[in-house]
C-alpha cells in the first residue's frame, strides 16, 4: 500500500480520542455512563477512500455500577493537499453533521406528530467539524441486525420496494416541514441544501469538471471497445467538455417537485435488516453528505440507474413508480395536504432527469470493478511502510497525494487497463451498458 494507506491508519489513532468517544457514549447511553475503555475495530470490507475513512469503535463503560458494552460507527475526514479538495471534503462533513443534528430531528417531528414512523436513518451521537479533525460518531446499526447489501449486485423487487417507500417518506416529510412549520424556503433555513461538495466554490467546480471529464473519457474507451454504440459515443464526445454544466442544469427544479433529496441514492448507501426467512424487513439510509433540495426525480433516477438491472427497471417501472407515489400520498394525506403532482406528472419528471443519473452512473459503476482498490494507488507500490514510521505520520495536508491521481494524464495504457478490468465483470458491465442500450430513445437533454 502507498503513503495514503499509512495516513489513514494514523488518522484513526489521532482523531479518535477519549474525549470524543466519551461525548458519543454519554449522548447514546446517558450522562451517567462512564467510559472504561475503547478499541478500534475495522470493518471486514474496505470502508475507505481518499476523502474519508469509516471504521468502528467498541466501547466498555460503567452505568449504575454495572459494566456494559456498545459500539459506534465512526467517519473521519482525511486532510487534503489542495484548497478545492479541502473545501469540498470539509463542506461534506459540515453538511452531514447539520443534516443529522438539525434537519433530521425536524423532519422526524413532523412524521411522529402524525403518528407516522420516523425516517430510517442512523442516530448521530457526536460530530466535530473542526478543520482537518472532522469526525462523526453514528449508531452502529449492526447491533440492530442491519447489514450492507453487496453493492456489486442489483436489487431485487423486494429490496427496491422497501427503498422506494422510505424515499417517499423522506421526500414528503420535507413538504410537511415547509407547510406546517412555515419553512417555505428550506434552502433559506438550511443553506447546506443549496450546495454540494462539488460546487461550493469555483475551484471545487473546476476540479469536478476535470473528474467528470475523466469518467466520460473512460466511458468512451469502454463503448468504443465494445462497439455498436456509435450514437452514444458521438453524444458523449459532443458534451464531454460541458458535461458538468449540463449536470448542474439538471439540479434546477420545478417547485412542485422540490423536496429534500438524499442525493447519493444507490445500494452502497443503504443497510437492510432481514426477517427470519431472509426477506428484507427494514431499510436504513446512510451517508447523508449529499442531502440537498432538488427534484425528487434526482433520487429516483439515480436509484433506478445505479442499483437495478435494465430488465427489472423496464419490466417493473410502472409498479415502482406506483409504489413511490402511494407512499408519498400516504404521508401527505396524514398531514392533510394535497398531492402537488399527479401520477403522470411524476412519470414526466422522472424521465426528464436521465442525464444527471447517467453522469453519476458513469462515475459510480466503474468503481465497483475495483471495489477494494485505493483510487490513489492505481499503480501498487513495492515499498511497505516501516511500522515505526506509521505511528509518527504527520497528519497534515502534506501527507496525502490524492490530488495527483486526477492530475495524471489519462494515457491510452490507463484506458486499456480500465477497459480490461471492466470487461471482467459482466454483471456490472451490463448495468453500465444499459445506460446507452436505448440511447436513441432517450432524451439526452443536451440543448
Backbone φ and ψ of 183, nearest 5°: -85, 70
Q: How many CB atoms lie within 10 A of CB 263?
A: 22
- Going by the DSSP 8-state scheme, the letter that residue 102 receives in this structure is I
Among 139-143, 242-246, 301-305, 347-351, where is mean pLDDT lowest?
Answer: 242-246
For residues 437, 438, 439 and 443, what is the CA-based torsion angle, rounded to 10 degrees?
Answer: -150
Residue percentage of the chain with pLDDT more than 90: 52
- Separation in Å, CA 217 to CA 377, 425, 429, 430: 20, 19, 16, 19
- Give the pLDDT of residue 266: 92
Contact 122, 270 (CB under 8 A): no
Would 346 be classed as within a structural domain? yes
CA-wise closest residue to 146 among 71, 35, 53, 41: 71
Would 12 be classed as within a structural domain? no
Angle between helices 202-226 and 354-364 (to 10 degrees): 80
CA-wise closest residue to 327 among 160, 149, 187, 179: 160
Give the model's confidence band at 324: pLDDT under 50 very low, under 70 low, under 90 confident, else very high: very high
Enter the C-alpha cell of residue 184.
417555505
In the block, cell 486532510 appears at 79
Q: How many domains does the chain have?
A: 1
The CB-based long-range contact list for 215-219 (8 Å cut-off, 24+ gap) reads 215/359, 215/362, 215/363, 215/366, 216/240, 216/243, 216/362, 217/410, 217/415, 218/362, 218/366, 218/410, 218/415, 218/418, 219/362, 219/366
Among 17-21, 48-52, 411-415, where is mean pLDDT lowest?
Answer: 48-52
CA-wise closest residue to 35 among 46, 48, 24: 24
Q: Is the pLDDT of residue 1 over 70?
A: no
Enter the C-alpha cell of residue 289.
453528505
Would 298 be classed as within a structural domain? yes
Would 39 be classed as within a structural domain? no
Q: Is the pLDDT of residue 284 over 60?
A: yes
CA distance 248 to 195: 11
Would 287 be classed as within a structural domain? yes
pLDDT tens digit sequence for 194-237: 888 888 888 888 888 888 888 899 899 999 998 889 889 998 99
Give the model's confidence band at 49: pLDDT under 50 very low, under 70 low, under 90 confident, else very high: low
Residue 212, C-beta contacts closer than 8 angstroms, at least 6 positions apart: 243, 244, 247, 359, 363
- Give the pLDDT of residue 182: 67
- Give the pLDDT of residue 113: 95
CATH of the domain at 420: 3.90.1200
pLDDT tens digit sequence for 147-163: 999 888 899 999 999 99
Would 358 be classed as within a structural domain? yes
Find the domain containing 190 and state its range. Answer: 146-371+410-441
Would 193 be classed as within a structural domain? yes
Contact 167, 303 (CB under 8 A): yes
Position with higher pLDDT, 297 vs 186: 297
- Give the pLDDT of residue 416: 87
Q: How many CB atoms lie within 10 A of CB 367?
A: 15
In the block, cell 465494445 appears at 226
- Give the pLDDT of residue 52: 83
Would 268 be classed as within a structural domain? yes
CA distance 21 to 288: 21
Give me the residues paired with residue 69 across strands.
60
Q: Is the pLDDT of residue 183 over 80?
A: no
- Give the pLDDT of residue 116: 96
Amino acid at each position: 500500500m502507498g503513503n495514503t494507506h499509512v495516513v489513514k491508519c494514523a488518522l484513526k489513532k489521532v482523531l479518535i480520542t477519549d474525549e470524543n468517544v466519551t461525548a458519543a457514549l454519554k449522548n447514546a447511553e446517558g450522562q451517567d455512563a462512564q467510559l472504561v475503555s475503547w478499541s478500534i475495530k475495522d470493518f471486514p470490507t474496505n470502508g475507505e477512500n481518499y476523502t474519508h475513512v469509516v471504521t468502528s469503535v467498541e466501547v466498555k463503560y460503567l452505568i449504575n455500577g454495572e459494566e456494559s458494552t456498545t459500539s459506534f460507527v465512526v467517519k473521519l475526514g482525511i486532510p487534503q493537499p489542495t484548497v478545492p479538495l479541502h473545501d469540498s471534503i470539509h463542506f461534506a462533513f459540515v453538511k452531514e453533521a447539520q443534516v443529522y443534528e438539525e434537519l433530521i430531528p425536524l423532519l422526524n417531528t413532523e412524521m411522529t406528530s402524525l403518528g407516522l414512523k420516523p425516517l430510517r436513518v442512523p442516530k448521530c451521537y457526536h460530530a466535530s467539524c473542526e478543520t482537518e479533525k472532522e469526525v462523526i460518531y453514528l449508531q452502529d446499526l449492526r447491533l440492530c441486525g442491519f447489514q450492507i447489501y453487496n453493492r456489486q449486485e442489483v436489487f431485487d423487487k423486494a429490496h427496491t420496494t422497501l427503498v422506494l417507500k422510505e424515499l417517499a417518506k423522506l421526500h414528503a416529510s420535507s413538504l410537511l416541514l415547509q407547510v406546517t412549520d412555515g419553512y417555505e424556503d428550506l434552502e433559506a433555513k438550511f443553506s447546506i441544501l443549496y450546495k454540494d461538495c462539488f460546487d461550493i466554490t469555483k475551484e471545487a467546480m473546476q476540479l469536478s469538471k476535470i473528474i467528470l471529464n475523466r469518467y466520460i473519457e473512460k466511458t468512451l474507451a469502454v463503448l468504443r471497445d465494445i462497439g455498436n454504440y456509435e450514437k452514444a459515443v458521438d453524444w458523449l464526445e459532443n458534451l464531454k467538455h460541458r458535461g458538468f454544466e449540463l449536470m448542474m442544469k439538471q439540479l434546477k427544479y420545478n417547485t412542485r417537485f422540490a423536496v429534500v433529496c438524499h442525493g447519493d441514492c444507490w445500494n452502497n448507501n443503504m443497510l437492510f435488516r432481514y426477517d427470519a426467512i431472509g426477506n428484507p424487513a427494514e431499510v436504513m439510509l446512510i451517508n447523508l453528505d449529499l442531502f440537498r433540495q432538488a427534484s425528487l426525480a434526482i433520487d429516483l433516477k439515480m436509484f433506478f440507474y445505479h442499483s437495478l438491472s435494465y430488465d427489472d427497471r423496464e419490466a417493473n417501472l410502472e409498479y415502482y413508480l406506483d409504489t413511490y407515489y402511494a407512499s408519498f400520498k400516504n404521508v401527505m394525506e396524514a398531514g392533510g395536504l394535497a398531492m402537488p403532482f399527479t401520477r403522470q406528472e411524476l412519470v414526466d419528471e422522472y424521465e426528464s432527469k436521465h442525464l444527471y443519473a447517467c453522469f453519476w452512473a458513469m462515475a459510480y459503476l466503474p468503481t465497483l470493478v475495483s471495489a477494494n482498490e485505493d483510487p490513489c494507488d492505481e499503480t501498487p507500490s513495492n515499498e511497505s511502510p516501516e511500522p515505526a514510521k506509521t505511528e509518527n505520520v504527520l497528519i497534515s495536508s502534506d501527507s496525502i497525494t490524492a490530488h495527483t491521481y486526477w492530475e495524471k494524464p489519462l494515457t491510452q495504457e490507463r484506458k486499456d487497463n480500465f477497459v480490461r478490468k471492466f470487461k471482467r465483470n459482466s454483471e456490472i458491465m451490463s448495468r453500465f451498458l444499459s445506460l446507452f442500450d436505448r440511447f436513441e430513445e432517450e432524451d439526452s437533454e443536451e440543448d
